Amino acid sequence: MRISYSAFDTYQSCPLKYKFQEIDKIKTPKSKEAVFGTTVHETMKFIHTPGILSPTLDQAMEHFSNAWNPAVFDSPDEERAAFSQGIRIIQDYYKKNNPANFNIVDLETRFQIEIGDGDDKHIISGIIDRIDKTEDGYEIIDYKTTKKMPSQEKVDNDLQLSVYLKAFLSRYPKEIENIDKLKVSLYYLKHGVKLSATRTIDQLKKSEQLFLDTIKLIEEKKFEPLISPLCDWCGYQNLCPMWKHKFKGLRKIDTEEINKDIQEYIELKSAMTITKDRLAKLQEDIINYMDQEGVERVFGGEGVIARTLRRTYKYDEKKIKDILEPLDKWEDVLKVDGIALKNIMDALPLADRKEIEKARVVDKETKSLSVKKK
């Protein structure tokens, strides 16, 4: 299949969004964040387009201002804040970088690379924002206008940068011998911070495999919705099963009865939480009283409360293993603990996280309701 990096990224963030966008081809208006990002990217291209003289800060700000589209914003205040932020980004960029000091090789380069082999061959396309020649190698840079900046560890494993480096190497194959001198960077313009890393050949191979695994999921039509903070910027909320009920006014599918059920369910759930908190407080007071009076049972008009001691134990793993292994019972007590696994997942390299995900199968499925109060 042919897939652009941005479509791949959409699948990673939410498979259902990918389906709406790439398969059902449902168009949504460009979000203001996307329009803002495009204008900043255009300005960065203007700043670094090779010429006799690099543009001055004033020229760069003028370019930004001419490309500005105020129509996408909800209010004049919002528009003004976004415009000022754009100007601040450019000023900050000039403070930290002199455009004349860079040896630009290419800007907004389109690429197409082949991955996989045999029947499992695919084409990835994309656009690399900038390639610089550095003193001893090259640097591949992607600009970001997001609010959130990732950790260095995430940049070290970032799939986009690995794909861009592969694309670079398909154009300059000899540079593979120099791979440790090829820098890949994400420039977070809102923060004025560039995070850089390098890649090994092994990392590139692993990232290709990750791509192939994801393409397999797309081919198997796995399009589950994935709720995340990114939903706030998703143009498909009114079609998405996780959100469309919010737009019920437009769809007229609700009856008064279900509205009442929803209301009562939320009220009962919050009453349960209050009750649980109150019970914990009462328990604490009664235990304190028992300690103070040296009693293990207390008597009230409605009944008796007795204190019982519950112990939990932990075992010496080696000793238990020594006892159970000769009896052929050790394997019976070994069980992968899903919660413990989840706790360590974030600290694992991306490739290993994917391998763990591949190693899991659905044991049983139950549907439950959760409540998030407004």
Task: Determine if 231 is a binding residue for ligand SF4 (CB under 6 A).
Answer: yes
Establish if 236 lies at the interface with ligand SF4 (CB under 6 A): yes
Helix extents (H) in the chain: 5-13, 15-18, 32-48, 57-67, 76-96, 152-156, 159-171, 201-219, 248-251, 256-293, 317-324, 330-333, 338-345, 350-358
Q: Does the protein bind ligand SF4 through residue 240 (CB under 6 A)?
A: yes
Taking the complex as a whole, the smallest distance from the CB of residue 230 to ligand SF4 amounts, in Å, to 6
Among 67, 217, 226, 286, binds ligand SF4 (CB under 6 A): 226
Letters for 287-306 (x = contact with ligand SF4 by CB under 6 A, - = none) are --------------------
Q: Does 225 bind ligand SF4 (CB under 6 A)?
A: yes
Task: Give the end-to-end CA distance of the chain in Å, rounded to a whole number.
Answer: 42
Distance between CA 297 and CA 303 in Å, rounded?
11
Q: How far apart are CA 185 and CA 143, in angstroms?
A: 9
3-state secondary structure of 277: helix
Classify 143 as helix, strand or coil: strand
Q: Which C-beta is closer to ligand SF4: that of 227 or that of 333?
A: 227
17 contributes a contact to ligand SF4 by CB under 6 A: yes
Question: Residue 45 or residue 244: which is nearer to ligand SF4 going by CB?
Answer: 244
Closer Cβ to ligand SF4, 17 or 199, answer by number: 17
218 binds ligand SF4, rule: CB under 6 A: no
55 touching ligand SF4, by CB under 6 A: no
**Listed residue (184, 148, 163) closest to 8, CA to CA:** 163
67 binds ligand SF4 (CB under 6 A): no
The pair of structure tokens assigned to 170 is 């398909």
Selected from 23, 81, 123, 227, the binder of ligand SF4 by CB under 6 A is 227
- Applying CB under 6 A, the span of 101-109, 177-185, 234-242, 305-313 interacting with ligand SF4 comes to 234-242
Does position 242 interact with ligand SF4 (CB under 6 A)? The reply is: yes
Which residues have C-beta within 8 Å of that of residue 341, sequence separation ≥ 6? 356
Q: DSSP assignment of 80-105, as one string?
A: HHHHHHHHHHHHHHHHH--GGG-EEE
Strand 2-4 and strand 122-133: pairing?
parallel
Q: Does 31 bind ligand SF4 (CB under 6 A)?
A: no
Instruction: Number of residues interacting with ligand SF4: please give it, by CB under 6 A.
Output: 14
Is residue 16 close enough to count as binding ligand SF4 by CB under 6 A? yes
Binding-site ranges for ligand SF4 (CB under 6 A)? 14, 16-17, 225-227, 230-231, 234, 236-237, 240, 242-243
